[in-house]
Amino acid sequence: MDFQQKEHYDFNDLVEIVRVLRAPGGCPWDRAQTHESIRSNFIEETYEAIEAIDNGDKSLLKEELGDVLLQVALHTEMEREQGVFDMNDVCDDICKKLIIRHPHVFGDLSAANVNEALSNWDAVKMKTKAQTTYTEAMQSVSRALPSLMRAEKIQRKAAKVGFEWDDVGGALEKLDEECGELKAAAVNGSESERHEELGDVLFSVVNVARYLGVDSERALYDSCDKFINRFSMVEKLAQERGIDMKSASLEELDALWDEVKIKQN
């Protein structure tokens, strides 16, 4: 293996190590991978980097960002092997994109605040992607995003042309309307109708969150943690009182839940 080991490595070394791993005589596992086979790895590594950010763990963040870079290097190497593009092409593309989409920095436009900077970005993005309608801009939002995040991005694009309520009151009324339709579908609707109405409720919830300035994805994330924490206290309380949770009634468990809730508040 023609590779010189060092005390300190840089980005170029990462690219070279990945080439060695996928070259003849390299690692059988790395050589066998395709874009599709490691697609979930990319998602997993990205979420682990986000978790490090959430926890304020800088050491772990450094490690997880390295794992994300490894995924970038692997996918790029696969294309280099086919003669499609290499890491320099990837870097060239993102550099050009950043320069083009920041005309207030690299051009003759101005941006006095964040909103003006975002407006410049959106205008250039639509132009470079040959988007002539706001529908096309919505369609460009990745379908692979978490659905709550995708819904918010779509709603923000609609809001830019005035397609939104005057205030959160309108959004809340729409949520009530959708909840009513879901209740009706739950009783008399078909499976597809229940599916559709539940989706409408979730979409409306995201819209309410947007008006409130709340990140719906993060809000649900935090609610999951809160539920687990509260459930653990309910379970502990049940054990202390000799209550078998599996055989206990919902009323008994709900009473424990309310007791824990009061203590936490």
3-state secondary structure of 60: helix
- 79, 86 contact by CB (below 8 A): yes
Judgement on whether residues 209 and 229 belong to the same structural domain of the protein? no
Q: Is residue 151 part of a domain?
A: yes
Select from 92, 114, 132 the last residue of a domain.
92
Count of the separate structural domains present in the chain: 3
Round to whole Å and give the CA distance between 86 and 79. 7
Q: Rounded to the nearest 5 degrees, what angle is found at the Cα of 84, between the Cα atoms of 80 and 86?
A: 40
Q: Is residue 114 part of a domain?
A: no
CA-atom Rg of the chain in angstroms: 25
Q: Is residue 97 part of a domain?
A: no
Q: Is residue 165 part of a domain?
A: yes
Round to whole Å and give the CA distance between 42 and 68. 7
Taking each helix axis from N to C terminus, what angle separates 191-212 and 216-240, rounded to the nearest 10 degrees?
110
Phi, psi of 46 (to 5 degrees): -65, -45
- 37, 78 contact by CB (below 8 A): no
Judgement on whether residues 252 and 186 belong to the same structural domain of the protein? no
Judgement on whether residues 190 and 250 belong to the same structural domain of the protein? no
User: Mind listing the pLDDT tens digit of every residue in the chain (265 residues)?
Assistant: 667 889 999 999 999 999 999 999 999 999 999 999 999 999 999 999 999 999 999 999 999 999 999 999 999 999 999 999 999 999 999 999 999 999 999 998 899 999 899 888 888 988 888 888 989 989 999 998 999 999 999 999 999 889 999 999 999 999 999 999 999 999 999 999 999 999 999 999 999 999 999 999 999 999 999 999 999 999 999 999 999 999 999 999 999 999 999 988 8
Q: Is residue 45 part of a domain?
A: yes
Judgement on whether residues 207 and 256 belong to the same structural domain of the protein? no
| Residue-number span of the structural domain to which 191 is assigned | 144-214
Judgement on whether residues 230 and 157 belong to the same structural domain of the protein? no
Judgement on whether residues 18 and 61 belong to the same structural domain of the protein? yes
Q: Is residue 194 part of a domain?
A: yes
Domain CATH for 163: 1.10.287.1080
Range 53-60, long-range pairs (CB < 8 A, 24+ positions): none
Judgement on whether residues 238 and 177 belong to the same structural domain of the protein? no
Q: Is residue 81 part of a domain?
A: yes
Q: Label residues 219-228 b or e (16+ Cβ within 10 Å = b).
A: eeeeeeeeee
Judgement on whether residues 231 and 204 belong to the same structural domain of the protein? no
- 211, 171 contact by CB (below 8 A): yes
Round to whole Å and give the CA distance between 53 and 25. 37
Judgement on whether residues 21 and 48 belong to the same structural domain of the protein? yes
Q: Is residue 130 part of a domain?
A: no
Residue type, 117: A
